[in-house]
Copies of this chain bind each other. A is one copy, B any other.
Amino acid sequence: MPAIDVVGLDGDDTLWHNETLFRDTQDRFRDLLAHSTDPERIDGRLLEVERRNLALFGYGVKGFTLSLIETAIDLTGGKVAAADIETILGWGRDMLAHPVELLPGVAEAVDELAERVRLIIVTKGDLWHQETKVARSGLTEVVDGVEIVSEKDELTYRSVLARHGISPDRFLMVGNSLRSDVLPVLAAGGHAAHVPFEITWELEHADADPEADGYHHLGSLGELAPLLDGLAVGD
């Protein structure tokens, strides 16, 4: 195989914490509604509402906040207090204003990768918020490009690669989501490395296997530079 000379880096839960923030908020939401219904019903209903709203809202905190409010009204039979809605609105603002916290070892791993390859952050979600997060990450100086996309499917990757003049067989995407960072990249003719994060949002779940599907499984982003070195000398 040809050497990899461009690496795509996923943002949320690959470079920086994201799902943890959503989970923390969801924990608070469960506490807020604890007097009205049981926790499992809350999680299940919220997921249903999020799934139904996804085609209209896309990904991100604003849509999540709207879905929380909708779920709260629904689960309380319209009895939720305006003060509780106000609390939820505050969570949304807090999530948007939250500092970006890089995952352990990421800053060093990205520096090491930047010495070997061109780096492009390919991140999905709300344009305004993702731009803020990229800026706050402190990584803009090290990477060669940033692509904020609304969805990560095969077509998205094909157009990102075409726009940057990158041959798919020289491109490797690394990220925590099999559904968004691995499978569509393989479908587009590229390479992929999966670095699982401790928690995965239900709507990002996918089944795949490194051997059968042909991608790399890594324990951390720090393992990618050695992998690229190994690939460069042939395997």
Contacts and interface: CB of A to CB of B under 8 A. Distances in A.
Nearest to A54: B128
Nearest to A148: B127
Contacts of A35: none
User: Contact size class for A?
Assistant: 35 or more
Contacts of A150: 127-128, 131
A86 B75 CA distance: 12
Interface string A83-113: 1011001001100110000000000000000
Given A127-B148, A131-B150, A150-B128, A73 B85 contact: yes
Interface in A15-60: 53, 56-60
Nearest to A70: B89
A56 B62 CA distance: 10
A165 interface: no
B89 A58 contact: no
A59 B93 CA distance: 15
Given A65-B66, A82-B73, A97 B56 contact: yes
Contacts of A168: none
Given A96-B56, A127-B126, A127-B127, A62 B73 contact: no
Interface in A129-171: 129, 131, 148-150
Nearest to A59: B128
A150 B93 CA distance: 18
Contacts of A83: 78
A200 interface: no
A174 interface: no
A196 B82 CA distance: 40
Contacts of A57: 62, 96, 128
Given A70-B86, A126-B126, 6 more contacts: A58-B129, A60-B62, A62-B66, A70-B89, A80-B82, A127-B127
7 contacts: A53-B93, A66-B92, A78-B81, A78-B82, A80-B82, A127-B149, A131-B150
10 shortest interchain CB distances as A-B pairs: A58-B128, A127-B127, A62-B62, A56-B96, A78-B82, A128-B150, A127-B150, A73-B82, A80-B82, A73-B86
